[in-house]
Amino acid sequence: MTYSPDTLLMPYSSKIPEIVDAWRSDLQGKGRSKLAASIASPTEHGDLFEEGWTEAVQRETDNAAAET
């Protein structure tokens, strides 16, 4: 799956770590390893993200389960 950097603005919290990984891979493939390493992922550096991150992902998961 390929994502463009602006996809990070997606409102789907649970997808952000996957998008960050894809973005980093894309940058590394372009020889921009230093830049790729500077991009934080909430699964690796949760302390850098706003409080409530875990709750937002849980709400998204709960809503998705309720819709099915």
- Give the per-residue pLDDT at 65: 81
- Give the per-residue pLDDT at 38: 94
- Give the per-residue pLDDT at 3: 60
Give the domain extent around 54.
5-67
Q: How far apart are CA 29 and CA 61, in angstroms?
A: 32
Domains of the chain: total: 1
Mean pLDDT by 10 residues, the chain (68 residues): 55 78 95 95 82 78 79
- Give the per-residue pLDDT at 23: 92
- Give the per-residue pLDDT at 30: 97
